[in-house]
Structure 1
């Protein structure tokens, strides 16, 4: 698994280095985000052609988490609607007692607590031509400090409605 993750990240960065940046196709988006930890709503706003911020309000078993991410977007394979993105951010949330499935290992928490930590993101987004719909797939490495420390990796799938303004 570690070799596959390293191979994917290395390939993604090689693609980024080889590609030119292009104009953004939308200014903002709102949608749904499904991850290995939480499912919830998301909003994305482009600060300029290549830089965006995304906020995710995720609901999980016995808890809620707010995640903020700064992302850098670049065109992939000379397809204007296909963007590679990477970035970083943080999360803050609350969790109750219960059994939790993590990507790496399961945990049991006997008491409620605070979730706080650092997040990364690397993924691809495709804006379906002639529609305002964008689909994304990403990997979210996460360093949990409040209930850890531990490191974990979560896949994510996003479905967004875009606004051009």
Structure 2
């Protein structure tokens, strides 16, 4: 709860103190995603609203690759602030886990994403805050909802 409050205050600060600019959106970005499976991410816009994002998430005793399609839509009449939503899938593995239920398990499932992203004006930095609902099929049907924070370096 404390982490969520800090992230909400940070995002609100960016919204309140942002200024309008009319620069083009970035074509691609690299960065880090922090959630229950944290790791590097890569985002590529295939047009003005649609992007593909790849995340290699690491967790204790395993790793997961997630691929997402995302639609970005401007909100609140704030330049460089967008809400995004989309879907995708993940595949990975968990091994040597202290919990025998998840030891040496294939992870495979469907993912969704909904969040907000803000590109800092005149800086090559994008910050995102999202929720990633996912269905895990690899070790029995299970629903997970993971909040995440993304920090990306954008390229022009």
Using the size of structure 2 for normalisation, the TM-score is 0.82
Contact 2:94 2:102 in 1 (8 A): no
Q: Deviations over 1:24-75 (max 9, x none)?
A: 510000000001x211000000000000000000111000000000000000
Extract unaligned runs of 5+ from structure 1.
1-21, 100-106
Distance 1:52 1:118, change over 3 A: same
Moved over 2 A (4+): 107-111
Extract unaligned runs of 5+ from structure 2.
1-21
Distance 1:41 1:81, change over 3 A: same
Using the size of structure 1 for normalisation, the TM-score is 0.78
SS of alignment partner, residue 63 of structure 2: strand
- Show the counterpart of 2:29: 29
Distance 2:140 2:122 in 1: 45
Aligned length: 135
Question: Greater share of strand residues, 1 or 2?
Answer: 1
**Counterpart mapping for 1:72-91 below 5 A:** 72-91=71-90
Contact 2:102 2:139 in 1 (8 A): no
1:113 CA displacement: 1.3
